[in-house]
Structure 1
Amino acid sequence: MPFPFFGDDKSKIAQMLATLPQTGRLEWIGLRPARREPLQPVPEATAETDRHLLGDHARVKAGGKRQVTLIQHEHLAAVAGFLGLPEAVEPGRLRRNLVVSGLNLLALKNRHVQLGDEVILEITGECHPCSRMEEELGPGGYNAMRGHGGLTARIVQGGALRVGDVVRVLEKEPQ
């Protein structure tokens, strides 16, 4: 009898990859008022369909794959641990717009998620760290962020986002 995840039974892996019944929570929202300025935490923001978060300096062209960035809340402590810091890294230091807890963000790649009642994001790819992490976190910051940089997304449907919003995976692509 073959191991259940190899050989004739590849559909089980596809089924497991597709199974995400958990919901997450939007823990933090950050906007950059200008280039190279620190992110400002806000309790709510407006996502503009196929553009960006209003109030964020980034002006993204329609169809762009990096209209908003997300990072896993649980990774804030991991990055701090790699740097020998006593507590989790402050989200704004990592230059991502949204911090989500309770869902493995990497499992959301190429899927659609809904935040709150209105906003739908298409998760487009990984958000790899840049050299700014050395500036922000000190020596080793870039390597501490490797594998923990989060994801990029396109705003499929805009609307209001609020800290505390439920984040859930959509089973089908929105119409």
Structure 2
Amino acid sequence: MSLKDLIAGWAQPGRVDWIGLRPDRRVEMVAVDEAMISANGLEGDRGRAGKRAVTLIQQEHLAAIGSYLGRGPVSPDILRRNLVISGINLAALKGREVQVGEAILRFTVICAPCSRMEEALGKGGYSAVRGHGGWCAEVVRPGRVRLGDAVQPVD
């Protein structure tokens, strides 16, 4: 197989495990069972249009971040990402169109941790999230996303 073929491959669809909305800065996130993803991001979220409209993180990384802090998995609302996805390597989807529920997203840039991670997670929180903070995505096609929906590249 060529490197291009290897990069295009994936083992199984991922799954939406958690959906969260950030109604405003510094207010608690609201966990929901479903949300509409419009051109500007999730409806009810204070996100922004463009390449950072939707934020995603891997469920598997919540445990990694917690382990770097000497505890169990961190709660997704602390990291303030919109979608928690399990079962597929999100980093392998960079630049690709990905179906998430009824919507199609394009993963654009990593979600770097912000300085609030020290406040939210304690000493070393910022460093614990580095490389595990998830991805930002732009909306290619709006649509509804629900807990349990499949996440997979559009081939």
Please report the TM-score for the alignment, with normalisation by the length of structure 1.
0.85
Match of 1:74 in 2: 60
Which stretches in structure 2 are left out of the alignment for 5+ residues? Answer: none
What's the offset of the Cα at 1:21?
A: 4.0
Runs of 4+ with deviation above 4 angstroms: none
Distance 2:133 2:152 in 1: 20
The whole-number CA distance in structure 2 between the counterparts of 1:137 and 1:159 is: 33
Q: Helix, strand or coil: the match of 2:2?
A: helix
Percent of aligned positions that are identical: 53
**Aligned partners of 1:19 and 1:159: how far apart in 2?**
25
2:147 & 2:77 partners in 1: Cα distance?
14
1:83 is aligned with what amino acid? L
> Which residue of structure 1 aligns with residue 85 of structure 2?
100
One-letter code aligned to 2:82: N
| 1:42 and 2:32 are equivalent in the alignment | yes
| Cα displacement string for residues 95-128 of structure 1 (whole angstroms, at most 9, x for unaligned residues) | 1100000001100100011112x21001111111
Superposed displacement of residue 29, structure 1: 0.3
Q: CA deviation at 1:160?
A: 1.1
Cα deviation for residue 35 of structure 1 reads 1.3
For 1:167, the equivalent position in structure 2 comes to 151
Aligned to 1:112: 97
Which residue number corresponds to residue 8 of structure 1? none
Residue of structure 2 in register with 1:20 after alignment: 10
Question: In the alignment, what sits opposite 1:56?
Answer: 45
Instruction: Tell me the TM-score normalised to structure 2 length.
Output: 0.96
Structure 1, unpaired ranges of 5+: 1-10
Q: How far off its partner does 1:39 sit? A: 1.4
The 2-side partners of 1:76 and 1:23 are apart by 19
SS in 1 for 2:118: helix
Corresponding pairs, count = 155
Secondary structure at the aligned position of 1:149 is classed as coil
